[in-house]
Structure 1
Amino acid sequence: MPKTAAPDDSLDNATELDNDDASGAAQALVTPVMRGLRLLRFIAEGGSTANLSEVGRRIDMNRVTVMRLLATLEHEGMVERLPQGGHTVGFSFLKLASRVLAANDLTTFARRVLAQLSSSLQLSAYLAVPDGGHVLYLLRDMPNTGLVSNIQVGSRVPAHLTTPGRMLIAHLSPEALRERLGDDPLPTVTGQSPATHARLAEILGADLERGCAWSFSAFEPGIDACAAPVMDATGDVIAAISVAGPQQRFEADGTLRERVEKEVKAAAKDLSALLGYRANGKR
């Protein structure tokens, strides 16, 4: 008589583990946040908040909770009151969404812009983005002349030390700069590095006035660099384009510096336009 296979306990154990995982995941969820997101999604999809009781019925929560969540979302700028009653998504919500969309578009558009810039100038071209008090090098395009800079994709450097970093912090207030970079003395890598906020303010002021930042062996000995800011559709500085090349090349070609500045500014302007920025009216 054939032997009957013993029940596979591993299946039961696996089911129990799956249930435990699901239970743990459910316990990790924050109910008030879920309710707020549910309400925000309802408004974003065109739902009316003129009748709070009806809203509560539609999204399965009581009227008082709806009222409190609306007040919180309104305070944070995620929703705004309509003159005729009810709410619509607020500017802060739209700005946040636009930044996420722009981040996806940013690298797509930037690759093309960097390739053109690098090919035209025969210099390494970079896209950098802010990362707290640092700058993160996100993309790089190099000419056939080879690598001249030690900066790699993924390099993270204190913002005040590099040209793209300076462009990313130049618009900040002194208080915001100190909060982001810390107190004096600031980290330095060469004798040209600003060690104090007072000196940094002078440099950033000149950068803003010129519309770009220059470094003459200030970060890497023998390497000159230029950067310009990239704006999103709302006019915020979200990235910087830079190029870097051997100092001797700039010294040998008296027209190169002027051409670099012009083309870096133009590339940053082109990328900003692709992201929806308009100099007059921003959009």
Structure 2
Amino acid sequence: MSSKYNQRKAVSVIKVQNKKLVPALGRGVRLLDFVATSSSKPTLTELASAVDLPKSTVHGLCSTLTELGLLRRNSDGTFQIGPHVMQWANSFTRETSVVREFAQIWDAESFLPGATVTLSVLEGAEIVYVAARNSGTIAGFNFRIGMRLPAVFTATGKAFLSYLTEPEIRALYPEGLPSPMTPFSVSNVSDLMRQLRSVQQQGYSVDNQEVAEGMACIGAPVLNAQNQPIAAIAVSLLANTLSKEELDEVAASVREIARSLSVKLGALA
């Protein structure tokens, strides 16, 4: 069965099964469904053809969805799913098995007994902590479930952002990065991109005193069945307390725990 057939089938479901829906809302969801399942970023013309609507109607719908953050229009005129959708997706994520699986894996781990480990999801430009195993306050900082922090400064945030392109990063921060939390916080997109390239190369991310002076965090992404980050874990400890060899061992353990959790969620091993 072809990808094109699957895409057209997806956008036709609402027409067949939900005849009493508000028409404009139904058309908007059909557009979002097509963009989400498309193997490439569609143009306005392709969208109009896919959902069998006049181009003028699709233009109006896309403009509204873009203004609401549900779609993003790229510089070449193509469309992709916008960042606002992540708020809904991550709300669903918190109700699924990822938190339970995290707790089961961590409770069974003997690695770094008493360490502080956290599980986070990305919402827009912020990280939201959805689970935590605290060993106590580290450098005066304590993680709490529901806490939000700028993604650019955190290890889990950098794990997520490493999956984005530079244009996507710049679109996420059109007015520049947030105000630094410490003197060590990354302050511009160019430096952030260098950090993210390192994350891609080494397979783990580091917050070296960017959130709190004296605290370092090592993170890794948790992937879903599409091998995209659905969450991220991080271990936090006092900065400058580990040798390079010990740091490498901690990073390897964090990566392995993230890999185990990813496999449970359907990612490729």
Above 0.5 in TM-score? yes
Work out whether residues 135 and 158 of structure 1, in 8 Å CA contact, stay in contact via their aligned partners in 2: yes
Q: TM-score with structure 2 length normalisation? A: 0.64
Is 1:120 the equivalent of 2:111? yes
Q: From the superposition, tell whether residues 138 and 200 of structure 1 become closer, same or farther in structure 2 (CA, over 3 Å).
A: same
Is 1:241–1:264's contact at 8 Å kept on the other side of the alignment? yes
Aligned to 1:222: 214
Residue 215 of structure 1 deviates from its aligned partner by 2.6
Please give the residue correspondences for 1:181-196 in structure 2 after superposition, counting only pairs within 5 Å: 181-184=173-176, 186-196=178-188
Whole-angstrom CA distance in 2 between matches of 1:110 and 1:204: 24
> Following TM superposition, by how much is the alpha carbon of 1:184 offset from its aligned partner in structure 2, in angstroms?
2.5
From 254, 260, 271, give the equivalent of 2:250.
260
User: Is the 1:102–1:275 Cα contact (8 Å) retained in structure 2?
Assistant: no
Percent identical: 19
Q: Distance in 2 between matches of 1:241 and 1:71?
A: 35
C-alpha change, 1:275 and 1:41, in structure 2 (3 Å) is farther
Tell me if 1:40 matches 2:14: yes
CA 1:198 to 1:79, structure 2 compared with 1: closer, same or farther past 3 Å?
A: closer
1:207 to 2:207 alignment: no
Displacement of 1:196: 0.8
Residues 266, 135 of structure 1: CA spacing in aligned structure 2 closer, same or farther, 3 A cutoff?
Answer: same
Does the CA contact (< 8 Å) of 1:186 and 1:194 recur in 2? no
Is contact 2:220–2:233 with CA below 8 Å preserved after alignment? yes
| Residue 79 to residue 178, structure 1, CA distance change in 2 (3 Å) | closer
Aligned to 1:135: 127
41 and 239 in structure 1: CA distance in 2 versus 1, 3 angstrom threshold = farther
Runs of 4+ in 1 over 6 A off after TM superposition: 69-72, 96-99
Note the residue ranges of structure 1 that are not aligned, 5 or more in a row.
1-35, 44-58, 81-91
| Runs of 5+ unmatched residues, structure 2 | 1-9, 39-80
Are 2:238 and 1:246 aligned?
A: yes
For residue 260 of structure 2, what is the amino acid of its counterpart? D
Give TM-score scaled by structure 1 length.
0.61
Q: Cα–Cα, structure 1 residues 109 and 222, in superposed 2: closer, same or farther, change >3 Å?
A: same
Task: Name the structure 1 match of 2:168.
Answer: 176
Q: Quick one: distance in 1 between partners of 2:19 and 2:157?
A: 47
